A and B are shown apart, each in its own frame.
Chain A
Amino acid sequence: MLSDEEIMNWPEAGTATAAPVIRADHLDLTFQTNDGPVHALKDVSLDIAKGSFVSFIGPSGCGKTTFLRCIAALEHPTGGSLTVNAMTPDEARRARAYGYVFQAAGLYPWRTIGRNVALPLEIMGYSRAEQAERVARVLELVELSGFEKKFPWQLSGGMQQRASIARALAFDADILLMDEPFGALDEIVRDRLNEELLKLWDKTEKTIGFVTHSIPEAVYLSTHIVVMSPRPGRITDVIESPLPKERPLDIRDTPEFIEIAHRVREGLRAGYEE
């Protein structure tokens, strides 16, 4: 394990004694396109401690999704170093270290909700009994018990997205990466799912990386808010939230909340003006 000096990037984050689960060091990523190279990530350094909830916020093109995809080894950085659970991202992917939730639920229309959630378990070779047990457990976690036999088209968009979160939770990855999971949902459903996500995070103690372009969502959910700006994609500010772990929805009207939201907004604006 790592020494004490290395651990303490954010002393108060989550479980304070843990080593960073994800560590990016001067990360660079340049895409070669027909219109010339695109600098998607430039000099991104960030440590994510175990059990923290980190939101990435910024305008489109700021590289927030790209960074998440780098952690998931779906993109490959062209410079710098990145470790996930002290492994390379690709090793971590092969060790099935994370669950990934995309913007679209992406449930298979030919599988019932239960069988959709069981998909990663089938691929990873869990026994039938274990599959059934885990499916029942995670469906309860996202409050979809009783919908196991339904097909995706029989569910609302919010319920489908909950099922896709259940699918990412079904196996024992302790990192959950979410790429604008609620971006396509309406405000009311989004509020409800945000609340549920916090409870779920509390219960499962996962480390969550969460991409969003909604300031209230980022402030409400996170222990740390990473503000990014585009061209080239880089981190302009990392805000540590002073909000308590227990967060009812109306915490969004408190002065503390509004102050953080203000700081995020300032950070976003600064990124534009540079």
Chain B
Amino acid sequence: MAEASDPKAGTSAGGWPRWLRLPPVLGMVLALLAIWYVAVVPMNVKEVLTAAERAGVEVSPPSAVDRRDMGNWALVFRNTHALGQSWSSDRPKLPAPHQVLVELYDSTIDEELNGRRGIMRSGTLSNRSLIYHALVTLNATFLGFLIGALLGVGLAVGIVHSRVMDMSVMPWAIVSQTIPIVALAPMIIVVLYSIGVQGLIPKAVISAYLSFFPVVVGMVKGLRSPDAMQMDLMRTYNAPTSSVLTKLRLPSSIPYLFASLKIAIAASLVGAIVGELPVQKGGLGARMLAGSYYGQTSQIWAALLVAAALAALLVWAIGAIERRTLRRMGMMP
């Protein structure tokens, strides 16, 4: 490997070679999958037994009413012979991982290639496809993140420079985060709708509402990170406040900014999804709610997996930009 010649190239920040990180990660995934498969059996046992009974298999106890009041594990142990359909039932309470993957494939690649309205047939993404819904969510996430990050940086600059803002804005920023977003999101949508704003903007506003906070907190700390000596140095130059900000405070705050942005972009995604719940006009949030309306749990799980993958991708992207930026600033070898 080319990496072997350069000891730094193959190591992560923690100093571990990259290949050594794989076994623990893989082990963790396998363990989770195993737990998941086991959990599927008791979770779905009642429906599976009812189906088996209809197919003529003897089930104990034979009455569905009796079974309703029994514990799931007890049913599992008394009917080990009738559990064959546990991992392939039609409407499982908890779908098995492979059922989720099949749903994921069906609602992405298969839908676009073979679906009635997929990209192959119509030239546009199908509104039944998770790719389409992910993009809808991503749009709101980006816009919300942009607004939230700019607002956060702006507030932080104000807080650091004005004692009045420090005293007045910070408590409200903290209070704003104690209100559950699921309670607030419908209000934001209703209020904005009543003044004629709908579609992307309300979702972005909810996103921004969640993402500005970590940026404010991180940036206030970052902008205050220059020590007394560095501030004194600026004083000896008789530097105006604007120079102290642009030449000292902002560059010092960059590492703090990126730490905050990673949290903020994940929060933005959550905000966008929550914003899509009350408005059934596309997006991963809409898909999740639709899945729950129609008892399609694998659809919920598939949307959830896509959301998780998106979050991972977004955080990774911020990390990549961070590494590039710090390297260009000379703050990282």
> Which residues does A use to contact B, with CB under 8 Å?
72-74, 93-94, 96, 98-100, 102, 104, 106, 108-112, 119-120, 122-124, 151, 153
Contact = CB atoms under 8 A, between A and B. Distances in A.
Contacts of A99: 236
Nearest to B240: A123
Contact of B237 (A96, A102, A111): A96
A104 B234 CA distance: 15
B248 A108 contact: yes
A34 to B, nearest CB: 18
B251 A106 contact: no
Contacts of A123: 234, 237, 239-240, 243, 247
Indicate the member of B234, B236, B331 with the most A CB atoms within 10 Å: B236
Given A102-B233, A106-B229, A151 B330 contact: yes
- Chain B's interface size range is 20 to 34
A158 to B, nearest CB: 19
A100 B236 contact: yes
B64 interface: no
Contacts of B280: none
The A interface, classified by DSSP as helix, strand, loop or mixed, is loop
B232 to A, nearest CB: 5
Contacts of B229: 102, 104, 106
A193 B247 CA distance: 29
Nearest to A69: B232
Contacts of B233: 100, 102, 106
Contacts of A98: 236
The list of the 5 closest CB pairs from A to B, nearest first, reads: A151-B330, A110-B329, A100-B236, A123-B239, A120-B237
Contacts of B329: 109-110
Given A93-B236, A110-B251, 18 more contacts: A74-B232, A74-B235, A74-B236, A100-B233, A102-B233, A104-B229, A106-B230, A109-B331, A110-B254, A110-B331, A119-B247, A120-B237, A123-B234, A123-B239, A123-B240, A123-B247, A124-B237, A153-B333
B238 interface: yes
Nearest to B330: A151
A272 B236 CA distance: 33
Nearest to A72: B236
A90 B291 CA distance: 70
A153 B330 CA distance: 9
Contacts of B251: 108, 110
A121 to B, nearest CB: 10
A93 B240 CA distance: 13
A124 to B, nearest CB: 7
Contacts of A100: 232-233, 236
Contacts of A109: 329-331
